[in-house]
A and B are shown apart, each in its own frame.
Chain A
């Protein structure tokens, strides 16, 4: 019983992180049909920004690093994706792949390829137990952050004018433009939110792995893809569901697979992506606007 509960806690935690990753990717996909490979580099840059600012007082580090990530997200959109807005989705995918590679190697150039040990607020890794369940303080913090981020985002999307515009644009971009939604500001807004989500991930993720490296964004972004596809590309609820599903799956696989088979966890996840694409290409939650029209 305790063991099951422990797994549930772990799954929720991992899932929360993946959900935020998937949400950051799904948000942009919904509007631009862009699968942003470079989303992982936002996570990476967030980590390095905290490393550079670490001398400053805590809240200032948080605020400034958030600004850095948002500025980078907006810069990506302005310089790389805006000129390609009319291009085919696969061109956009290649462009984001190139951008991700560019940013990674820029950081290799500046900081070297070797991982740098770093954890912002290392006191987060203290353990405590509630009735035989081991909980790391970091997990509580990351859970809280995840819930806050999800609630905040829901409020933003449902209650504010720009949020409603964003949802409209992700349902049907052309129709939304015809109704007077400003394309540039909505897309910029989406990138800013996506950047903020990446920043939260980078806060939690860099504390989890305890080090920074130029390639650290690749794993989360790839898992984020898996989650977005499972949940249904373009659907925000689907992205969150997909994230938690992948979290639950990876904890289950970790618990049930034998020690020899455990490294194949990733293979199972991707095989699942392949299956979902074949059997239910629209994912858990289908988005009607994505149906291809003739």
Chain B
């Protein structure tokens, strides 16, 4: 990377800028829309944070993690413990340790703490998990998700158990989440171009070859895992604020499915894929949600169809997997650079070999 000229460096930033502008532009348009649309956009933005966060690990390492939603749960609960008013906590969560019981932090600090807690959790889980390859890693991460879910949904005195946790501030808004989403994009972009990202991507393409030139795959995976968990934890904290009421079941298979579908549909191996996946699935989800309520098409009238939204998403995901296994983007970054100028010696700034 050091050999890159300033010009090349600037050019390598254009896809990132394009993504950031896309995001800011969309947020600007949504800001003048009715509250219903805004709520959809806020949820999409939170999912973008989850997906970009997951992408930092999954996209660069090629290891499919089913466990990232557990980082969301950690982020959401840690933020809730720190932010909910002490009086409310005494009623709902009698088992909280004194320090957490008295905490009454600002929501923004809670978000940060959620991210840090998720990172710390990811570090300890990742120590062993990063050793696993391929399908064992997927199942191992799934086991983490299941354990976290079982603990959060049953440790009633600390998490509210099967019931729900309320009293969260309504802090999740377009303009509070957008900076985080932009930060996630920047970190993901910088990481994938850094030596760490390149080593991990090398290991993704050929494990043995990467090891033979001295790449410590375990270490690289762990680094990506911890960074990745931070943003997913932040997203979890926001999701808690967004819902207003937290229950452990919000962070299980359904959320895992949707976020993985977003990654797969967009394309696992590019940042542009992560963003495009979130956009596509959100739009499709909205269209199907309206269809779910019932449509009148002349002689054909359909009643309300609960489940249609999920059915459509699953079908789309299967079709993409079969006919376009590298996702809508085909694993490429946003095609801005090529349109104006094709860089000649830009090793490492493109995901394609």
Contacts and interface: CB of A to CB of B under 8 A. Distances in A.
Contacts of B306: 108-109, 112-113
A109 B315 CA distance: 14
Nearest to B146: A270
Given A94-B321, A113-B306, A266-B150, A277 B135 contact: no
B317 A274 contact: no
* Secondary structure call for the B interface: helix
B135 A33 contact: yes
A274 B147 contact: yes
Contacts of B153: 263
A199 interface: no
A274 B144 contact: yes
Nearest to B133: A292
A170 to B, nearest CB: 16
A90 B308 contact: no
B139 A225 contact: yes
Nearest to B319: A98
Contacts of A229: 139
Interface string A268-294: 001101100110010000000000101
B347 interface: no
A94 B253 contact: no
Contacts of B310: 101, 104-105, 108
Given A97-B257, A102-B311, A109-B305, A270 B143 contact: yes
* Secondary structure call for the A interface: helix
A59 interface: no
Contact of B321 (A98, A105, A225, A281): A98
Sorting the interface of chain A by its residue count into under 10, 10 to 19, 20 to 34 or 35 or more gives 35 or more
B260 A113 contact: no
Contacts of A90: 63-64, 134-135, 138
A96 B124 CA distance: 29
A225 B260 CA distance: 20
A175 B315 CA distance: 34
B322 interface: yes
B134 A89 contact: yes
B261 interface: yes
Nearest to B263: A94
B257 A278 contact: no
A170 B275 CA distance: 39
A264 B151 CA distance: 7
Contact of A267 (B150, B311, B318): B150
Contacts of B308: 105, 109
Interface of A: 33, 35, 80, 83-84, 87-91, 93-95, 97-99, 101-102, 104-109, 112-113, 218, 222, 225, 229, 233, 263-264, 266-267, 270-271, 273-274, 277-278, 281, 292, 294
Closest 7 A/B residue pairs (Cβ): A108-B307, A102-B314, A263-B154, A267-B150, A105-B310, A109-B307, A90-B64
Given A93-B138, A274-B140, 7 more contacts: A95-B322, A98-B257, A98-B318, A105-B311, A263-B154, A266-B146, A278-B128
